[in-house]
Amino acid sequence: MLTAILTGFLFSVFLVFAGRFFKGKLSILASLIPLGLFVYFFQFVNRIANGEVITRSYEWVPSFGVNLVFKLDGLSLLFTLMITGIGFLVFAYTSSYLKGHKYLDRFYGYLAAFMGAMLGLVLSDNMISLFTFWELTSISSFFLIGFKNTSRPSRKSAMMALGITGIGGLLLLAASLLFNNITGTYSISEMLSMSEAIKGNQYYWLGVVLIFGAAFTKSAQFPFHFWLPGAMKAPTPVSTYLHSATMVKAGIYLLMRFTPVLGGEDIWNTTLIIVGGITMLYSAVHTVFRTDLKGILAYSTISALGILVFLIGLGTEEAYVAAAVFIIVHALYKATLFLVTGIIDHQAHTRDVTKLAGLNKVMLPVGIAAILAAISSGGIPPSIGFVGKELIYDATSHSELVVILLITAIVLTKIFLLYAGFVAGIKPFTGKLPEGISEARMPNFVMWAPPLLLGTLGILFGLMPFLVEGPIVKPLVAALGENPEEIHLRLWHGFNMVLVLSAITIGVGTALYFILKPSYKLESAIGKLEFISPESILKKFMAGFKWASSYWTRFFQNGYLRNYVSMIILFTVLMVGYVMLGKTRFVIDYNSLTKLTISEIIVALVLIAGVCYTIFTRSRLAAVVAMGVIGWSICLIFVFYSAPDLAMTQFSIDTLTVILFVLVLYKLPKYLNLSDVKIRIRDGILSAIFGIIIAALALQVLAEPVNNEIGNYYADNAYLEAHGKNVVNVILVDFRGADTMIEISVLSIAAIGVFGLMKLRLKMSDRNRYQDK
């Protein structure tokens, strides 16, 4: 199972070296990767249908309880089949859609990495590994959405998507740490057995909020939905793959996976119903005001995701069944419509639905696929969409909440979704072919076969729902903790209220399609309300935050190094002083102090003199020399107290510092007086307070009980394990070697930066001399 997950990443790495072979006719061979993975996961269908749960575990960081544990059950099986199955069709479609593109190999690399990340996400049974793959989907989707990197809108959309979903990733990490703190484990399966303990914990509500934040940002729930329409700047294969069956469903997967752990409480169910209800209706209404095919599909996708969140919130077995079926329904018809939209854009060079009509005359198979998808989208028999819609209505009617309000909301949503499906799937292919697109031609077989296959499956599963009932739906419902034995999917449920609601939906939605035509007038009308949209509000907040940050930077980062140091010291004084206030309990036992020797008194007086001379001298060179005297005086103190190794280190550093300062001062202009008496008095007071706090802190540390356990460990093992007699050196280069390496790296980077600035200064000086000549 780990190999299956890593296949996508390995293929991406392979393309770095052999990508040129996948830019021509061999590009379709890339589709064999997801096809092979689909076959691999499909072989588990019977075992999962029989109630088996397949797990694989690999040690990663066992000391922290973080392992690569993968679980294949009914829930993860559905998602793996969608990821690999639709992935296969998208890979094949891409070979023709981006034929001849100079970065086709790069695109396949991003797509394969995303596929691997999604597989890892839905199979992970450890929250840390889940978070890792969650973030990998955000990063790989960033490259896919911004694939047209020369386009500013594409870059902005990619940044927006990464920003919103990245915040969700941080919330998921916080949830992982919180639940580990409550349960002592990162295993989701183990958390399931501790569900009651989690719900009874005082921080249960916080964990729920964090999970909601991660899921809502990833699955584009209101008010975080606006990144998804912007992501339509990506090439059509990206929109198809990410926004029909994979990335946007990751949040839905997360909610389903944690429903048995966190569900059943009011805060869980009520929040999901409210957020899902608002999202589904708000976005469905927005489809009426769009003229771009991708825009219509984007908002209908958000609406469909809202329906799924709404159903999870209902929290009943009927709702889970409806959600399982609707995931399949949406993946089939939405992938079809996205692929069809790509064909229209590729062949007719426009996605403006007001300019599209009559394309059936030149690309009949594409039109058939689109119409089949529109039928499934509208929930019209005999499609699987009709089965899913009836299940949704049935689950809503059995809700214990305000049934009339919920039914009204879901019926209105489905009416608008039917309208959107008809506009995207039927309008471009019916009527008279306009002259502006009369040159459109039939696309390559590799382009029209995938949408036709998906559209046909939507009808086939509707006629024979048992094909998805036993292998997919029942195991998924079982994974959510329900008994799937009484589940029976069928196309005909008899004459009842649900059928009446379906008839109303189809009738009103069809009438709306014939009455209300997409137009720029409608689009401009909704544009007038853009100023109160969540996206507009966020942009205003970002602009305000940018202004505040700029002001803050100009105030504190004003170019004077002494001000930077002063701010750091002031902050340290305030924080440390606040902590120490009232908690300092040291007592100086003068009787325990050793008597001062004449040599110590002389060194102390020299040190004090050096400090005073450094402060009051007007010569920078003299100040540097005086600082060197201070450092060498400290070296002697180390020698007096039997620390020769520290003394040698201090001596080396101080000597080198003095030399470097002298070399730098030699290149600088003469001494400039850039401060007045008030500033020097301020700095003197701050320095004195800082010195007093450090002295008090040192005395407090000395007054604390001594625990020699760590020191004894280093002393006992320095020679035995590290083969070094100098314990301090062994600690630096062996026991804490990683810290030392990082410190060296930081200094190296700083040195490179200084060297770069010096070269820049030299180049500017050379240019100025050349201009003078």
List residues bridging with 67 in a β-sheet.
Answer: 59
Q: Which residue do the tokens 């240019």 mark?
A: 767
CA distances from 647 to 563, 607, 655, 731 (A): 31, 15, 12, 18
Q: Write out the H or E segment, with its range, that includes residue 67.
A: strand 66-72
SS3 186: coil
pLDDT at 213: 95
pLDDT at 537: 85
Two tokens, residue 634: 């400290």
Mean pLDDT for each 10-residue chunk of the chain (773 residues)?
Answer: 91 88 84 94 93 89 83 94 94 90 90 94 94 94 90 89 92 94 91 91 94 94 88 88 84 94 92 94 92 92 94 92 94 94 90 90 93 94 93 87 85 94 93 82 91 95 92 92 86 85 94 91 81 82 88 78 84 87 73 80 90 83 86 88 80 84 73 72 88 85 76 80 78 79 85 76 53 52
Does the CA dihedral 102-9-97-330 come out positive or negative? negative
Does the CA dihedral 427-431-434-439 come out positive or negative? positive
Does the CA dihedral 644-648-649-650 come out positive or negative? positive
Q: How far apart are CA 111 and CA 379, in angstroms?
A: 31
SS3 161: helix
Please classify residue 456 by burial: count the beta carbons closer than 10 Å to its beta carbon, then call 0-12 exposed, 13-18 middle and 19+ buried: middle
Contacts of 675 (CB under 8 A, 6+ apart): 562, 683
SS3 126: strand
- The structural domains of the chain, with segments of one domain joined by +, span 285-518, 708-773
Two tokens, residue 397: 């009617």
Two tokens, residue 644: 């020769």
Residue 55, Cβ neighbours under 10 Å: how many?
A: 13
Q: How far apart are CA 155 and CA 146, in angstroms?
A: 5
CA distances from 733 to 653, 729, 762 (A): 18, 6, 37
Q: How far apart are CA 715 and CA 730, in angstroms?
A: 10
Task: Provide the b/e sequence for 33-53 (b: ≥16 CB within 10 Å).
Answer: bbbebbeebeebeeebbeeeb
pLDDT at 556: 75
Contacts of 699 (CB under 8 A, 6+ apart): 586, 588
List residues bridging with 68 in a β-sheet.
Answer: 58
Contact 37, 84 (CB under 8 A): yes
Two tokens, residue 771: 């201009």
CA angle, 39 as apex, 34 and 43 as ends, to 5°?
145
Two tokens, residue 611: 């400090």
Instruction: List the one residue out of 283, 266, 279, 328 whose CA is nearest residue 81.
Output: 328
Two tokens, residue 639: 């020698």
List residues bridging with 58 in a β-sheet.
Answer: 68
Q: Which residue do the tokens 């002259």 mark?
A: 435
Q: How far apart are CA 694 and CA 422, in angstroms?
A: 74
Q: Write out the H or E segment, with its range, that includes residue 561.
A: helix 561-580
